[in-house]
A = this chain, B = another copy of it.
């Protein structure tokens, strides 16, 4: 049974492990600094489908199926799929798993969805509600760009603070059986809205929420940044991660060299992504590719995975509402 530490942190009492993981990405993501860490790179942005929504669904489905296969499982062996995405009514995730015959729990946490899924999933495994489940998330540049901003063919100019929605998906299988990577803690975050209304500066909107969640996590567990081999946010990108470092600096806390943001890891500065990557798939694919691979190899020990989301809709932005940030986190321990 889980124990609550301090104000926010949930410590898993029974073992919760990641038994397999998979990351599927598009061409641009496959050409970035993390090339070679993904299970598949699709040269076809349509993933063989006739619409962008079906393309995203095919990509997420492939991530789930690949992760399950790597764990030696059939889809029917899963008790649950927990998944979400950025599309209206989370249709990408619904279409991904509609034929799976696996019970489905839809989540919405914007770009924090992968972390939200791992946190909820960890609680369900720890509590005995599920023995084996899959947490997944995805985003697709073409589907998101058209929905959130402009028609693709319009070729709208982007501001320097804008982030690039990754065409990417990640999936992780959680189980109670021992594997090299254990999920030890989870923190659900509160929304923080400091009245940032610029949808092209989501890093600034999300950074205060990341600070709030990480500060609670450190306090609740009596740890600091130096206790972790890697602290990963996703996806604050360049603007937001500088703000996050600044917020901790006010507390005389240095996030240190172990701190990195998935939005800055996925692309390099020559890939024209401005402030960096975003989208539910960005942090999902960085975690479910490179990071978990390195944890399994023993190259990374203790890691905080802190997914950050901007809770807005095109309607709310047009109506002048502030963009609320949220951050859910899990602590992972490697081999």
Contacts and interface: CB of A to CB of B under 8 A. Distances in A.
Contacts of A313: 53, 87-89, 91
30 contacts: A2-B127, A4-B129, A4-B130, A8-B103, A53-B315, A53-B321, A84-B108, A88-B89, A88-B314, A89-B312, A90-B311, A91-B311, A94-B191, A94-B312, A94-B324, A95-B316, A98-B191, A98-B322, A103-B187, A103-B190, A104-B191, A105-B109, A105-B328, A106-B108, A107-B107, A107-B108, A108-B108, A123-B123, A123-B124, A127-B128
A206 to B, nearest CB: 13
Nearest to A127: B127
A104 B321 contact: no
Report copies per complex. 2
A98 B88 CA distance: 20
A102 to B, nearest CB: 6
A190 B91 CA distance: 15
Interface string A179-191: 0000000111111
Q: Please provide the 7 A-B residue pairs with the shortest distance between their CB atoms, ordered closest to farther.
A: A127-B127, A89-B313, A103-B188, A106-B108, A1-B128, A94-B311, A123-B129
Nearest to A83: B108
Contacts of A265: none
A157 interface: no
A120 interface: yes
A264 B328 CA distance: 38
B100 A190 contact: yes
Given A87-B315, A94-B324, A147-B315, 17 more contacts: A1-B14, A2-B128, A8-B103, A10-B130, A53-B319, A53-B321, A89-B110, A89-B311, A94-B311, A94-B312, A98-B322, A98-B324, A104-B191, A105-B120, A106-B107, A127-B128, A127-B129
Given A127-B2, A129-B123, A315 B91 contact: yes
Contacts of A108: 84, 89-90, 106-108
Band of interface residues on A: 35 or more
A326 interface: yes
Nearest to A186: B129
Interface string A54-83: 100000000000000000000000011000
A86 interface: yes
B3 A104 contact: no
A86 B315 CA distance: 13
A104 B1 contact: no
B98 A105 contact: no
A2 B130 CA distance: 9
Nearest to A193: B98
A97 interface: yes
A95 B321 contact: yes
Given A95-B321, A105-B116, A128 B3 contact: yes
Contacts of A2: 127-129
A62 B193 CA distance: 20
A250 to B, nearest CB: 20
Contacts of A322: 98
